[in-house]
Amino acid sequence: MQGVVLNKRSRVNWTSIVADFLLTGMVVGPVVAPFLAASNLPMLSIIANIIYSMGNHVCPQPNMGVMLAPPFIMGVCMRCYGTVTGLLLTRILYAVNGGKGFYWLSQYGWSGAAIAAVLMMAYPLELAIQVLGWWDFNNYFVAVFGLVTGLAWGLFTMPIFHSKEKFT
């Protein structure tokens, strides 16, 4: 994606800006939705309904969200929020070290993609085992599996989204 020239020396990485905007929404939205819904203010309730609607489309078990403002629950389950937390942690790590480290999986090409794909299977594997009845839903347990998936996604994609090499 081409950057917009601000001056002769710098360009804006729009991919990075959009990715950070979306990540911010994924981090904040599910947590604030129950408080917005509990406010009883029409405009805030509408925003909460939008967040809940989005959560219903991306989360396989949105009804398992943690209750934050009774009777309202988070916009997604803890498995999904664990995934978002993993993405947030890798974004912070990328901001700190700029992609310098052996653990950034995209630098390994297809091998890194394969490692990321295997690690990302933690979420669907746990969901399948839970749906099959091998264990019950537990917020702490599912959050860890989501976290592993989010870390895998982030360790592969953050250098791709936020690299400044092509924009300097």
Q: What's the pLDDT score for residue 164?
A: 78
pLDDT at residue 42, rounded to an integer: 93
Write down the pLDDT at residue 8. Answer: 53
Whether the CB-CB separation of 155 and 107 falls below 8 Å is answered with no
pLDDT score of 12: 86
Any residues with CB less than 8 A from the CB of 96 and at least 6 apart, and which?
none
164/166 Cα distance (integer angstroms): 6
The pLDDT of residue 106: 95
From the number of C-beta atoms within 10 Å of its C-beta (0-12, 13-18, 19+), residue 29 rates as buried
Closest CA to 61 of 153, 155, 145: 145
Q: Which amino acid is at 117?
A: A
pLDDT, residue 40, reads 87
55 contacts 76 by C-beta, under 8 angstroms:
yes
Q: Where are the alpha helices (DSSP H) in the chain?
A: 14-38, 42-58, 78-97, 110-120, 122-131, 139-162
| CA distances from residue 136 to 11, 92, 132, 143 in whole angstroms, order as listed | 50, 32, 10, 13
DSSP type of residue 168: -
Domain ranges of the chain: 11-162
Q: What is the residue-level pLDDT of the chain in tens, covering all 168 positions?
A: 455 555 555 688 999 999 999 999 999 999 999 999 999 899 999 999 999 999 999 999 999 999 999 999 999 999 999 999 999 999 999 999 999 999 999 999 999 999 999 999 999 999 999 999 999 999 999 999 999 999 999 999 999 999 876 544
DSSP string, 33-76: HHHHHHT--HHHHHHHHHHHHHHHHH-S-GGGPPEEETTEE-SS
For residue 167, what pLDDT is reported?
45
